[in-house]
Amino acid sequence: MPNKSAIIIGITGQDGAYLAKFLLDKGYEVFGIFRRLSTPNFWRLQYLGIFDRVNLIPADLIDGTSLVEAIKISEPDEIYHLAAQSFVGASFEQPVGTGEITGLGTTRILEAIRHINPKIKFYQASTSELYGNNKSGIQNEDTPFRPASPYAAAKLYGYWITKIYRESYGIFACNGILFNHESPLRGLEFVTRKISNAVAKIVLGMESSIELGNLEAKRDWGYAPEYVEAMWLMLQQDEPDDYVIATNEAHSVKEFAQKAFEIAGLNWKNHVKVSQKFLRPLDVNFLRGDYSKAKEKLG
């Protein structure tokens, strides 16, 4: 049987790079969609040593024709849709752009699949942000959504349109409801990497402090390379479905900072300042995922 092929939309991001490595190791032919920027952004693929092993295709989520072209060229068995304006804070500054890219972008891909080859399997990068400020102490696939940012509202649209295309057209389309996941490849604006980067600079004497926003928010933080395997597993099942991927543990930003400074032999209180600049108009206070379904069905 010939090797399978996959398109990763958003291959230049954290998850895209790890998933590309994972699929290459499984023997897949990997196509990666990236958007044209004035300065190429392939550092993650280079860091993982796979830049020369992926086929890169330029396309943009706001340009449906470019997505159609990319799918026609590569004839994939599976599409992993990981591209998004993924920074929650920025979605308050660019709410319409976030809706266009993170919300409608998903429909553009699903429409292309429907017209070109509805047998292509589809993974949608859904998120624990969908739960927003839901009052439950733990969230699973049946917990009601209550999005709390333009990003989460756009992702809620993406979640539902994925289900709608599954139920209307029989497309093998899955939502992975992934809780926060981090790694050395995480973008520097997200809080874990922002803190670890600052700790390193402070230890090296390049900086003396870091400004953060809401220290009380709690997140269920996992490890990105493990979470991309869960994406792949979802597309290998007999039936398409939606799954929560999480660790079942919640920790605060304060705890994270404390630990990160402690590891470098420093007291966080001497270096962390709270700044209004990093407070969001509305924040999600508590996320903790119940992964029972994924454990049972995906192993």
Is 129 an annotated catalytic residue?
Answer: yes
Q: Which is nearer to ligand GDD, 75 or 216 (CB)?
A: 216
Q: Residues 127 to 166: which contact ligand NAP by CB under 6 A?
A: 127
Question: Could you say which of 12, 106, 180, 258 contacts ligand GDD (CB under 6 A)?
Answer: 180
Instruction: Tell me the number of residues near ligand NAP by CB under 6 A.
Output: 24
Q: Which of 12, 98, 102, 127 is catalytic?
A: 127
Burial (Cβ within 10 Å: 0-12, 13-18, ≥19) of residue 21: buried
Site mask for ligand GDD (CB under 6 A), range 47-86, x = bound: ---------------------------------------x
**Sign of the C-alpha dihedral computed for residues 249, 254, 255 and 256 taken in this order:** positive
Q: What is the token pair recorded at 179?
A: 């809780």
Q: Report what 32 binds from ligand NAP, ligand GDD, none; CB cut-off 5-8 Å by kind.
A: none
Q: Which does 21 bind (CB under 5 to 8 A by kind): ligand GDD, ligand NAP, none?
A: none
Among the candidate windows 67-75, 136-144, 214-222, 224-232, which touches ligand GDD by CB under 6 A? 214-222
According to DSSP, the β-strands at 121-127 and 78-81 are: parallel
Binding-site size for ligand GDD (CB under 6 A) equals 23
Is position 257 an interface residue for ligand GDD (rule: CB under 6 A)? no
Smallest distance, ligand GDD to C-beta of residue 1, A: 35
- The secondary structure of residue 286, as a DSSP letter, is B
The Cα 14–Cα 226 span in angstroms is 12
**Residue of the chain from 154, 191, 234, 246 that contacts ligand GDD (CB under 6 A):** 191
Strand, coil or helix: 250: coil
Q: Does 23 bind ligand NAP (CB under 6 A)?
A: no
- Could you confirm whether 151 is annotated as catalytic? yes
Q: Kind of pairing, strands 5-9 and 78-81?
A: parallel
Within 162-201, the residues that bind ligand NAP by CB under 6 A are: 178, 180-181, 187
- Alpha-carbon distance of 193 to 234, in angstroms, equals 28
- The Cα 172–Cα 195 span in angstroms is 39
Give least dist CB 140 to ligand GDD, A.
Answer: 15
The two structure tokens encoding residue 72: 């026609």
The one-letter amino acid at 85: Q
Asked if 12 touches ligand NAP (CB under 6 A), the answer is yes
Residue 14 binds which entry of ligand NAP, ligand GDD, none, with Cβ cut-offs from 5 to 8 Å by kind?
A: ligand NAP
Beta strands in the chain (DSSP E): 5-9, 29-34, 55-58, 78-81, 121-127, 173-178, 181-182, 210-212, 218-219, 222-223, 243-245, 251-252, 272-274
User: Terminal CA-to-CA distance of the chain, rounded, Å?
Assistant: 25
Give catalytic status of residue 243 as yes or no: no
Member of 30, 61, 230, 235 binding ligand NAP (CB under 6 A): 61
Q: Which strand (E) or helix (H) includes residue 102? A: none
Active-site entry in 29, 78, 129, 182: 129
| 3-state DSSP of 175-197 | EEEECCEECCCCCCCCHHHHHHH
Residue 214 binds what, of ligand NAP, ligand GDD, none (CB under 5 to 8 Å, by partner type)?
ligand GDD
Active-site residue list = 127, 129, 151
